[in-house]
């Protein structure tokens, strides 16, 4: 699995903020979006369902100006309800 982030920086970005998105593969195979609540706890990955209208990264959404339109549609998602 390839990522544009190095192994040691997977959980945090270089600025110390929680990771918001990881783009996997050299050919933009998959974009993984991380969602957090106000306390900074992980709330979900790729929204809580696979509905394209709820995708925070708008992967594969073919609209003008969408930077993530060339990524494949999300294949997994989950939500943590606590």
> 């929204």: which residue's tokens?
47
Residue 36 DSSP label? E
- pLDDT of 11 above 80: no
pLDDT over 90 percentage in the chain:
12
In angstroms, the CA 57 to CA 23 distance is 10
- pLDDT of 13 above 60: no
Cβ count near 5 (within 10 Å): 16
Q: Is 66 exposed, middle or buried (0-12, 13-18, 19+ CB in 10 A)?
A: middle
In angstroms, the CA 76 to CA 41 distance is 20
40-62 confidence digits (pLDDT tens): 899 999 988 887 778 888 888 88
Cβ count near 33 (within 10 Å): 20
| pTM, rounded to two decimals | 0.69
């Amino acid at each position: 699995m390839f990522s544009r982030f190095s192994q040691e920086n997977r959980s945090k970005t270089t600025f110390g903020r929680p990771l918001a998105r990881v783009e996997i593969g050299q050919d933009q195979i998959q974009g993984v979006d991380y969602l957090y609540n106000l306390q900074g706890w992980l709330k979900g990955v790729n929204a809580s369902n696979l509905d394209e209208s709820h995708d925070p990264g708008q992967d594969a959404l073919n609209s003008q100006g969408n930077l993530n339109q060339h990524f494949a549609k999300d294949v997994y998602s989950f939500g943590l309800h606590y």
